[in-house]
Amino acid sequence: MIRYIARRLGISLLILLLGSLLLFVLTINSGDPLEDLRESNAPNRENLINQRISFMGLDRPWYERYFDWLGGASKCLIGACDLGVDRKGQDVGAMVVTAAGSTLRLVVLATVFAIMLGVTLGIVTAIRQYSGFDYAVTFMAFVFFSLPVFWFAVLLKHYAAIEFNNWIVDAAISPPMVLLFAAVLAFILMAALGGDWKRRLITFGAAFVVFAGALFYFDAVTWFRVPSIGLPIFAIAALALAALIVQMTSGLDNKNVRNAVATTTVVGIIAYAVLRGTLMTNPSTLLLFVCLAAAIAVALISGYFWGGFSRRQAMTSSFIWALLASLLALADLALSNWSSYLREQPRPIPTIGSETPNYNSTYWNHFLDSATHLILPTIVLTLISVAAYTRYTRASMLDVLNQDYIRTARSKGISERKVITRHAFRNSMIPLATIVAFDFAGLIGGAVITETVFGWQGMGNMFKVGLAQVDPMPVMAFFLVTGTAAVVMNMIADLAYAVLDPRITR
């Protein structure tokens, strides 16, 4: 396995080297970097031209400039990157840190959401093959996959930002709209769960009553302007989440997994009840990460001691609960500060930028400001990517479900839940490992249009500006980050192959 990884790493580095050489040559020959100054009427034009020549090294051969960049970039291996300066003399390394942080914040969220939603829909549509729900999801997947990014982004700007900001002033839902929303949500849930017509009607009726009642309640208490989950609802949701995770992973009859998740749940609820006040009044990023690490540690310890013969499964189930419950707690803390944020930002969903300039407020208001700036570009990237994940997951899952060992498992009387979660799901993930790797690297390099539409100063914007100005240093920095991301993600995909399929050893 080590030889296999070393060989793949060597090939990847060679490809990066050849790719960087080609990109450098293409960039410096794409135009005249002094064109704007040659046409300038500034009295100090000659000084500006000489200064830019000095910054960009235009008085030296191209291969010297390339090897200077290569030497500085190679220092990244020892943590001392030197990516040169742009045509204004600004340090490109500092620009990359800022731009990469902005882009990664967007890309990581979009990738995680796309994987979660796409894989879930792919599994459900494979199980419900040729049903109405399958056809509807397939149709929507092709629609989102075919949408031009810039057009979709503009639509979101209008309907999800401008119209929402107009609505949130009163945040009122008329009774006909409540009934319409409830009916649509109930219909989607009914289609996803399936069953005979009697079961479908019962599902639709129960879901319609629940959704309508919740929307009427939210409208009556103006929940959309003063939202909160609160400790009682958090506890109820945490218990329901624990029951769902146990049922989906091992079944309620497995007392080892059940006890491990139950212990993690009880400890988590008590800990959140104790710490909620502190997290509301004296929050910090470090404190939130410490709480997350503590939750994960409790989950793993609980799974280890309660697991018995199901130790691995108990630790995995407890770990999943800890992550999801932590996200639920974070949502509760953020929503509890939403009304305060609305008083400072009456139009909360922005259409441009990654943060509000010169905005001074509380920790949670800054958190909400960053989160609201992420909403629109994340939705764009997620829905564009989720289409591919849905289709690949469905195809892979159907291929696995038709294998002989799946029929053998069913013939032995194993429950359908165990057949899907234990036997089919893991094997269907092997092809997706490659898709995830390429998609993550592709989103970093392909977010140029999204960043342009939403005014994000990320890697895509740095690449676009560098290319337009015939400035190779920002372009090469973009290539270094995206190329390294592609190599790393493909290496992770190779390791995932070995984990998912033990037959892969070299």
> How much is the pLDDT for 444?
67
pTM: 0.82
Residue 87 DSSP SS3: coil
- Rounded distance, CA 475 to CA 29, Å? 13
> How much is the pLDDT for 386?
86
Going by pLDDT thresholds of 50, 70 and 90, the confidence category of residue 195 is confident
- Better-scored residue on pLDDT, 501 or 215: 215
> How much is the pLDDT for 111?
84
pLDDT, tens digit, for every residue of 68-108? 999 988 888 777 788 888 888 888 888 888 888 888 888 88
Instruction: Note whether 374 and 109 are within 8 A (CB).
Output: yes
pLDDT, tens digit, for every residue of 152-178? 888 999 999 999 999 998 888 999 999
Going by pLDDT thresholds of 50, 70 and 90, the confidence category of residue 59 is confident
Q: Which of 22-26, 113-117, 194-198 has the lowest mean pLDDT?
A: 194-198
**Residue-averaged pLDDT of the chain:** 86
Domain boundaries, the chain: 1-169+366-391+429-506, 173-221, 229-345
Going by pLDDT thresholds of 50, 70 and 90, the confidence category of residue 292 is very high
> How much is the pLDDT for 498?
66
> How much is the pLDDT for 433?
73
At residue 11, does pLDDT exceed 90?
no
> How much is the pLDDT for 24?
93
% pLDDT > 70, the chain: 96
At residue 392, does pLDDT exceed 60?
yes
- Better-scored residue on pLDDT, 194 or 353: 353
| Three-state DSSP string of 101-115 | HHHHHHHHHHHHHHH
Mean pLDDT for the stretch of residues 253-272: 93
Instruction: Identify residue 415 by its one-letter amino acid code.
Output: S
Going by pLDDT thresholds of 50, 70 and 90, the confidence category of residue 369 is very high
> How much is the pLDDT for 501?
64
Going by pLDDT thresholds of 50, 70 and 90, the confidence category of residue 1 is low
Closest CA to 446 of 52, 176, 107: 107
Mean pLDDT for the stretch of residues 409-424: 80
At residue 446, does pLDDT exceed 60?
no
> How much is the pLDDT for 499?
66
At residue 29, does pLDDT exceed 60?
yes
Q: 91 has which bridge partners? A: 85
At residue 238, does pLDDT exceed 90?
yes
Query: Quick one: tokens of 162?
Result: 């401008």
- Rounded distance, CA 139 to CA 334, Å? 35
At residue 26, does pLDDT exceed 80?
yes
At residue 109, does pLDDT exceed 70?
yes
pLDDT, tens digit, for every residue of 459-475? 888 888 898 889 999 99
Query: Quick one: tokens of 138?
Result: 């397939």
Mean pLDDT for the stretch of residues 293-317: 91
- Rounded distance, CA 461 to CA 100, Å? 11
- CATH fold label, 1-169+366-391+429-506: MetI-like fold (1.10.3720)
Q: Which residue blocks in 250-362 are alpha helix, DSSP H?
A: 255-281, 285-307, 311-336, 338-344
Going by pLDDT thresholds of 50, 70 and 90, the confidence category of residue 274 is very high
CA quadruple 14, 20, 22, 23: dihedral, nearest 10: 150
Going by pLDDT thresholds of 50, 70 and 90, the confidence category of residue 317 is very high
